[in-house]
Amino acid sequence: MPSKLAAGNWKMHGLKSDLSELPAIADTATATSIPALICPPATLIAAAATPGLHIGGQNCHIANQGAHTGDVSAQMLCDAGASHVIVGHSERRSDHNETDKDIEAQAKAAWSAGLIAIVCIGETLAQREAGNCLDVLAKQLRNSVPDDATAANTVVAYEPVWAIGTGRVAEIEQITEVHDALRVDLCVRFNDGKDFTLLYGGSVKAANASEIFSCANVNGALVGGASLKAADFCPIIEALAAQ
Protein backbone atom coordinates (compact mmCIF):
# COMPACT_ATOMS: atom_id res chain seq x y z
CA MET A 1 0.00 0.00 0.00
CA PRO A 2 1.44 3.43 -0.90
CA SER A 3 2.58 5.69 1.91
CA LYS A 4 1.15 9.17 2.11
CA LEU A 5 3.49 12.16 1.85
CA ALA A 6 3.03 15.91 2.10
CA ALA A 7 6.13 17.42 0.49
CA GLY A 8 7.02 21.09 0.27
CA ASN A 9 9.44 22.49 -2.30
CA TRP A 10 10.67 25.91 -1.20
CA LYS A 11 12.56 26.43 -4.47
CA MET A 12 14.82 29.52 -4.26
CA HIS A 13 13.01 30.95 -1.25
CA GLY A 14 13.93 31.05 2.39
CA LEU A 15 16.41 32.48 4.85
CA LYS A 16 17.24 31.24 8.36
CA SER A 17 14.47 33.41 9.77
CA ASP A 18 11.92 31.44 7.73
CA LEU A 19 12.77 28.22 9.54
CA SER A 20 10.54 29.45 12.35
CA GLU A 21 7.65 28.02 10.30
CA LEU A 22 8.90 24.45 10.67
CA PRO A 23 7.92 23.55 14.26
CA ALA A 24 4.23 24.15 13.55
CA ILE A 25 4.45 22.05 10.39
CA ALA A 26 6.17 19.27 12.35
CA ASP A 27 3.51 19.45 15.06
CA THR A 28 0.75 19.02 12.47
CA ALA A 29 2.58 16.14 10.82
CA THR A 30 2.98 14.41 14.17
CA ALA A 31 -0.61 15.03 15.24
CA THR A 32 -2.00 13.65 11.97
CA SER A 33 0.60 10.86 11.52
CA ILE A 34 1.26 12.16 8.00
CA PRO A 35 4.91 12.16 6.89
CA ALA A 36 5.81 15.73 5.97
CA LEU A 37 8.86 16.80 4.00
CA ILE A 38 10.33 20.24 3.44
CA CYS A 39 12.92 20.77 0.69
CA PRO A 40 14.53 24.15 1.40
CA PRO A 41 17.50 25.65 -0.44
CA ALA A 42 20.68 23.65 0.17
CA THR A 43 22.01 26.44 2.38
CA LEU A 44 19.27 25.71 4.94
CA ILE A 45 19.18 21.92 5.01
CA ALA A 46 21.37 21.46 8.09
CA ALA A 47 19.68 24.28 9.99
CA ALA A 48 16.21 22.99 9.06
CA ALA A 49 16.53 19.83 11.15
CA THR A 50 13.28 19.59 13.12
CA PRO A 51 11.96 16.61 15.09
CA GLY A 52 8.96 15.09 13.35
CA LEU A 53 9.84 16.55 9.95
CA HIS A 54 11.74 15.13 6.98
CA ILE A 55 14.16 17.44 5.17
CA GLY A 56 15.20 17.08 1.53
CA GLY A 57 17.22 18.59 -1.27
CA GLN A 58 15.92 20.09 -4.50
CA ASN A 59 18.43 18.52 -6.88
CA CYS A 60 21.69 16.60 -6.87
CA HIS A 61 24.68 16.01 -9.12
CA ILE A 62 25.35 12.49 -10.34
CA ALA A 63 28.90 12.49 -8.91
CA ASN A 64 29.81 12.33 -5.21
CA GLN A 65 32.46 15.01 -5.63
CA GLY A 66 34.59 16.67 -8.27
CA ALA A 67 35.15 19.79 -10.35
CA HIS A 68 31.49 20.78 -10.59
CA THR A 69 31.33 24.37 -9.41
CA GLY A 70 28.01 25.31 -7.83
CA ASP A 71 26.62 21.77 -7.74
CA VAL A 72 25.67 19.69 -4.70
CA SER A 73 26.00 15.91 -4.54
CA ALA A 74 23.52 13.50 -3.02
CA GLN A 75 26.21 12.47 -0.57
CA MET A 76 26.52 16.10 0.58
CA LEU A 77 22.75 16.39 0.99
CA CYS A 78 22.69 13.27 3.13
CA ASP A 79 25.60 14.56 5.18
CA ALA A 80 23.67 17.78 5.81
CA GLY A 81 20.69 15.82 7.12
CA ALA A 82 18.49 15.23 4.06
CA SER A 83 16.43 12.07 3.66
CA HIS A 84 14.97 12.83 0.21
CA VAL A 85 15.89 14.72 -2.93
CA ILE A 86 13.75 16.04 -5.78
CA VAL A 87 15.04 15.18 -9.25
CA GLY A 88 13.62 16.11 -12.63
CA HIS A 89 11.55 19.11 -11.61
CA SER A 90 10.32 20.92 -14.71
CA GLU A 91 12.25 24.04 -13.71
CA ARG A 92 15.46 22.01 -13.71
CA ARG A 93 14.53 20.39 -17.01
CA SER A 94 13.89 23.78 -18.64
CA ASP A 95 16.40 26.06 -16.88
CA HIS A 96 19.29 23.58 -16.88
CA ASN A 97 18.39 21.39 -19.86
CA GLU A 98 18.28 18.24 -17.74
CA THR A 99 17.13 15.19 -19.70
CA ASP A 100 15.36 12.01 -18.68
CA LYS A 101 18.70 10.21 -18.70
CA ASP A 102 20.24 12.87 -16.46
CA ILE A 103 17.38 12.40 -14.04
CA GLU A 104 17.72 8.63 -14.11
CA ALA A 105 21.39 9.02 -13.15
CA GLN A 106 20.50 11.49 -10.39
CA ALA A 107 18.00 9.04 -8.93
CA LYS A 108 20.66 6.35 -8.83
CA ALA A 109 23.08 8.78 -7.18
CA ALA A 110 20.43 9.58 -4.60
CA TRP A 111 19.97 5.92 -3.74
CA SER A 112 23.72 5.39 -3.46
CA ALA A 113 23.81 8.14 -0.86
CA GLY A 114 20.88 6.66 1.05
CA LEU A 115 18.31 9.21 -0.13
CA ILE A 116 14.79 8.65 -1.45
CA ALA A 117 14.43 10.11 -4.95
CA ILE A 118 11.30 12.10 -5.80
CA VAL A 119 11.20 11.82 -9.59
CA CYS A 120 9.14 14.54 -11.25
CA ILE A 121 7.38 14.21 -14.59
CA GLY A 122 4.95 16.49 -16.37
CA GLU A 123 3.64 17.61 -19.74
CA THR A 124 3.57 21.08 -21.26
CA LEU A 125 0.32 22.78 -22.22
CA ALA A 126 1.14 22.26 -25.90
CA GLN A 127 1.62 18.53 -25.34
CA ARG A 128 -1.68 18.25 -23.47
CA GLU A 129 -3.61 20.22 -26.07
CA ALA A 130 -2.12 18.04 -28.81
CA GLY A 131 -3.49 14.96 -27.06
CA ASN A 132 -0.03 13.60 -26.28
CA CYS A 133 -0.15 13.89 -22.50
CA LEU A 134 -0.23 10.22 -21.52
CA ASP A 135 2.37 9.24 -24.12
CA VAL A 136 4.72 12.01 -22.95
CA LEU A 137 4.33 11.01 -19.31
CA ALA A 138 4.78 7.31 -20.04
CA LYS A 139 8.03 8.07 -21.83
CA GLN A 140 9.28 10.32 -19.03
CA LEU A 141 8.39 7.68 -16.45
CA ARG A 142 10.10 4.95 -18.45
CA ASN A 143 13.29 6.93 -19.05
CA SER A 144 13.59 8.90 -15.79
CA VAL A 145 12.83 6.14 -13.28
CA PRO A 146 15.60 3.50 -13.22
CA ASP A 147 14.71 -0.13 -13.86
CA ASP A 148 15.78 -1.13 -10.35
CA ALA A 149 13.59 1.43 -8.61
CA THR A 150 11.46 0.27 -5.70
CA ALA A 151 8.61 1.78 -3.75
CA ALA A 152 11.03 2.14 -0.84
CA ASN A 153 13.58 4.31 -2.67
CA THR A 154 11.48 6.21 -5.21
CA VAL A 155 8.47 8.54 -5.16
CA VAL A 156 6.88 9.73 -8.42
CA ALA A 157 5.48 13.26 -8.63
CA TYR A 158 3.20 14.35 -11.46
CA GLU A 159 3.43 18.10 -12.03
CA PRO A 160 1.80 19.43 -15.20
CA VAL A 161 4.21 22.13 -16.32
CA TRP A 162 1.37 24.49 -17.16
CA ALA A 163 0.06 24.34 -13.56
CA ILE A 164 3.30 25.06 -11.71
CA GLY A 165 3.29 28.48 -10.11
CA THR A 166 0.51 29.68 -12.38
CA GLY A 167 -2.45 29.31 -10.05
CA ARG A 168 -3.99 27.00 -12.63
CA VAL A 169 -4.85 23.51 -11.40
CA ALA A 170 -5.53 20.45 -13.51
CA GLU A 171 -9.14 19.29 -13.52
CA ILE A 172 -9.89 16.41 -11.17
CA GLU A 173 -10.71 14.22 -14.17
CA GLN A 174 -7.29 15.03 -15.67
CA ILE A 175 -5.47 14.27 -12.41
CA THR A 176 -7.37 11.00 -12.02
CA GLU A 177 -6.67 9.94 -15.59
CA VAL A 178 -2.94 10.60 -15.27
CA HIS A 179 -2.48 9.03 -11.84
CA ASP A 180 -4.46 5.94 -12.82
CA ALA A 181 -2.31 5.56 -15.94
CA LEU A 182 0.90 6.02 -13.95
CA ARG A 183 -0.21 3.36 -11.48
CA VAL A 184 -0.86 0.91 -14.31
CA ASP A 185 2.55 1.64 -15.85
CA LEU A 186 4.28 1.16 -12.49
CA CYS A 187 2.46 -2.11 -11.83
CA VAL A 188 3.40 -3.46 -15.25
CA ARG A 189 7.05 -2.53 -14.80
CA PHE A 190 7.70 -3.17 -11.11
CA ASN A 191 6.69 -6.00 -8.80
CA ASP A 192 5.83 -3.46 -6.11
CA GLY A 193 4.29 -0.94 -8.51
CA LYS A 194 1.09 -0.80 -6.47
CA ASP A 195 3.11 0.49 -3.49
CA PHE A 196 4.83 3.49 -5.12
CA THR A 197 3.79 6.82 -3.62
CA LEU A 198 2.31 9.09 -6.30
CA LEU A 199 2.24 12.83 -5.62
CA TYR A 200 0.38 15.57 -7.47
CA GLY A 201 1.93 19.01 -7.78
CA GLY A 202 0.75 22.19 -9.43
CA SER A 203 -0.79 25.08 -7.48
CA VAL A 204 -1.92 22.82 -4.62
CA LYS A 205 -3.36 24.81 -1.72
CA ALA A 206 -5.70 24.36 1.22
CA ALA A 207 -8.76 25.26 -0.86
CA ASN A 208 -8.30 22.45 -3.40
CA ALA A 209 -6.29 19.85 -1.47
CA SER A 210 -9.22 17.75 -0.26
CA GLU A 211 -10.64 17.34 -3.75
CA ILE A 212 -7.23 16.46 -5.19
CA PHE A 213 -6.57 13.90 -2.45
CA SER A 214 -9.93 12.28 -3.13
CA CYS A 215 -8.46 10.80 -6.32
CA ALA A 216 -7.74 7.12 -5.70
CA ASN A 217 -4.12 7.12 -6.88
CA VAL A 218 -3.07 10.46 -5.42
CA ASN A 219 -1.10 9.66 -2.28
CA GLY A 220 0.03 13.17 -1.44
CA ALA A 221 1.30 16.39 -2.92
CA LEU A 222 4.47 18.20 -3.91
CA VAL A 223 3.60 21.73 -2.86
CA GLY A 224 5.37 24.91 -3.92
CA GLY A 225 4.44 28.34 -2.60
CA ALA A 226 1.86 27.05 -0.14
CA SER A 227 4.58 25.17 1.75
CA LEU A 228 6.44 28.34 2.76
CA LYS A 229 4.06 29.19 5.60
CA ALA A 230 2.71 26.84 8.24
CA ALA A 231 -0.68 28.53 8.01
CA ASP A 232 -0.90 27.45 4.36
CA PHE A 233 0.82 24.06 4.51
CA CYS A 234 -0.70 22.62 7.68
CA PRO A 235 -4.26 22.54 6.27
CA ILE A 236 -2.91 20.58 3.28
CA ILE A 237 -1.38 18.02 5.64
CA GLU A 238 -4.68 17.81 7.51
CA ALA A 239 -6.59 17.34 4.25
CA LEU A 240 -4.31 14.44 3.34
CA ALA A 241 -4.87 12.88 6.76
CA ALA A 242 -8.63 13.09 6.29
CA GLN A 243 -8.58 10.84 3.22
What CA–CA distance (Å, rounded) separates 241 from 208? 14
Chain centroid offset of residue 236 CA: 15
Q: Any known ligand binding at 225?
A: yes
Strands 36-39 and 220-223: unpaired
pLDDT on residue 73: 99
Q: Any known ligand binding at 9?
A: yes
pLDDT on residue 5: 99
CATH of the domain at 140: 3.20.20.70
Q: Any known ligand binding at 52?
A: no
Catalytic residue among 89, 104, 179, 238: 89
- In tens digits, the chain (243 residues) has pLDDT values of 999 999 999 999 999 999 999 999 999 999 999 999 999 999 999 999 999 999 999 999 999 999 999 999 999 999 999 999 999 999 999 999 999 999 999 999 999 999 999 999 999 989 998 999 999 999 999 999 999 999 999 999 999 998 877 777 789 999 999 999 999 999 999 999 999 999 999 889 999 999 999 999 999 999 999 999 999 999 999 999 999
84 in active site: no
Nearest to 200 by CA among 228, 180, 186: 180
What CA–CA distance (Å, rounded) separates 238 from 123? 28
Q: Any known ligand binding at 162?
A: no
**Which class for 179: exposed (0-12), middle (13-18), buried (19 or more C-beta within 10 A)?**
buried
Q: Please give the angle made by the CA atoms of 213, 219 and 221, to the nearest 5 degrees.
A: 70
Nearest to 11 by CA among 120, 102, 92: 92
Nearest to 84 by CA among 113, 41, 64: 113
Q: Which domain, by its residues, includes 237?
A: 5-242
Structural domain count of the chain: 1
pLDDT on residue 62: 97
98 in active site: no
pLDDT on residue 169: 74
Catalytic residue among 61, 159, 179, 238: 159
